[in-house]
């Protein structure tokens, strides 16, 4: 059984920074890609950033966060961090960790962590 455990998030003023972390627990699986989505009230969930463990650790960023957010892998296996800088009020959302495991019957999601940026 795969579980994604998130930490970080909270309330910060515009221009500030936050760091999110996500760790996958369990055994007998290999994660291909791990990353973050976010969902603001009355909006669709959107991809924020992703880290591909294969392919030399390539990364993906949504257009709205490029240059401000950085995703990286942790020293522990199946762990990623999302460093969020220059935060804007429009970054306010629930952030969900996501893992893509080849061959798995479904996708894996964390419970979500709230990020609120005040103006």
Dump pLDDT digits (tens) for 77-110. Answer: 899 999 999 999 999 999 999 999 999 888 899 9
- 55 pLDDT higher than 80: no
Dump pLDDT digits (tens) for 9-54. Answer: 999 999 999 999 999 998 888 999 999 999 999 999 999 999 999 8
DSSP classification of residue 89: G
In 1-119, the DSSP E strands lie at 3-7, 10-13, 18-25, 33-39, 46-52, 59-61, 69-73, 79-84, 93-100, 108-109, 113-118
């Amino acid at each position: 059984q795969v579980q994604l455990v998130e930490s970080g998030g909270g309330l910060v003023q515009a221009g500030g920074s936050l760091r999110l972390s996500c760790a996958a627990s369990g055994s007998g699986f290999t994660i291909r890609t791990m990353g973050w989505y976010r969902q603001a009230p009355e909006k669709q969930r959107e991809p924020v950033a992703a880290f591909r463990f294969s392919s030399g650790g390539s990364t993906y960023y949504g257009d709205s966060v490029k240059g401000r957010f950085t995703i990286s892998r942790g020293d522990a296996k199946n762990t990623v961090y999302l460093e969020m800088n220059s935060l804007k009020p429009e970054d306010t959302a629930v952030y969900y960790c996501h893992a893509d495991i080849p061959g798995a019957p479904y996708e894996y999601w964390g419970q979500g962590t709230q990020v609120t940026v005040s103006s």
